[in-house]
Structure 1
Amino acid sequence: MTSLPAELSKVVDVEKPSAARVYDYYLGGNCNFAADRELAKKVAVALPGVNEVARINRAFLGRAVRYCVKAGIRQFLDIGSGVPTVGNVHEVAQQLEPSSRVVYVDNEPVAVAHSELILEDNDLAEVVHADLRDPRSVLESPHTRALIDFDQPVAVLMVALLHFIPDSDRPLDVIATYRDRLAPGSMLAISHVTDESLTEGMHRLVEYYASSANPVTMRKRPEVESLFSGLDLVEPGVVWAPEWQPEAPESVGPAPENSGIYAGVGLKS
């Protein structure tokens, strides 16, 4: 991407890297700018497998969505959805169950604008420009209220999101606000980077992202498990992302810890 539509140029700082746009670059997208690419390339030197890490995370998202659909859930709230790419939630869910309804949420204007474009002809999917840390703006958005019935089970997706929420923003309290709104049978899917593997590279990643719009907070496995407080963890619990309900044993690979990502799904009983 070399330029922005006029309506976005006033609100998007293309000189400051954005996590959503950097992630788009990792996945091979083109909704990113020079500053995003520069950060991504620096990270790739310190963490040579970062593109594969992004793909592993995206694969977990797909498996989690399919799990939720097969469990009977027909409503999805994808918070921190990012720039649309292959395997979007509505594509995965509606392929299995065409009646599935999806609300995407992101605070990155470029991600929201591109989501609006791809959802123009889909009456069962919408995008909300809001921040996870302002639950009211997410839960009470007209788009959310039009598509999501919180008296019925909802799958809330916070995939590769919460490591951008520092402890000072009280992520457990924020998550609790969403959890308390959910009906029994709802699920919460989370993936989160950690420095318990690829330690040196992850520390450099934190260093590089510190100057971006979205600094990173690393968390250990017990801290990631605590994000599911009040929920029952679905088997196999919080594990390395490739280990979460793999489609085939061989897809886990010989070193799942090299994903650098913990992942899990919690059920509200």
Structure 2
Amino acid sequence: MRRPFARTLFRAPVLLAAAVLLPLASPAPSAADSIVIGGRSVRVADSPWMVALSSRDRFGGTRSGQFCGGVVVGRSTVMTAAHCLSPEVLGAAVRAVGDLKVIAGRDDLRTESGAEIPVRRTWVNPDYDPETNSGDVAVITLKAPLPERYVIPMAGAGDSAYAAGTDAAVYGWGDTTGAGDYQNTLRAADVQVLGDSACEAAYPGNSEGRFLARTMLCAGKPQGGRDACQGDSGGPLVAHGRLIGLVSWGSGCGRPGTPGVYARVSEAMRVMPKPV
């Protein structure tokens, strides 16, 4: 079933509704699922642009309240997925989540390392379509700026980083099995950018979802086994040292023939507020 990659809520009043909209990949993951999926441990110091979105009120405090990922594209600007800021994920309108923060510089979510930065304002792409996941982009403006070295460059239209076959990596603290095994430390999975025709063949508009090349790209491995999963939404897909995608949706986690789908950053740059 097509689904975005945000976490379901811990709080009982909204757990069932969120679970219906955001189901886990499968109750019994395959061997490919059991090996982000197929990832490796990485250090935030080597990827300082990777941040966590947090609300302890909504998601509990065990893992710093992490529920989605984000990426620093300006000293006070974080990009994430639009669905991460939706009532379906948060259980309330984003303006009602008073403790929404961005966590930077923290490898292990069980610690207090790094910085927790309050949010000044949020912007959700007005063209975001929750039915198709097209335009799945949002922007968070921070109350305090991060160092310049935290900022990752974005790949504009025509950049070679979008070419089919390009080696890329996806980052996150999400599920590593497809069965709710969320990680406390940051991981990355090595994938390849796939051509639009391959993505359209995987998601032609049936029950698995529809790939729309203008606003999306997809990445994975033909044999599966490496992918983003629940809890990784909004996190970065990076190629050639540049941001090319934001974790958005997919069918299952790491399954052959159903690669992860990402919001295309070149299109997001066209519609989003200018980073500050």
TM over 0.5: no
TM-score by length of 2: 0.33
Higher relative contact order (CA 8 A, sep 6+): 2
TM-score by length of 1: 0.33
Q: Which has the higher helix share?
A: 1
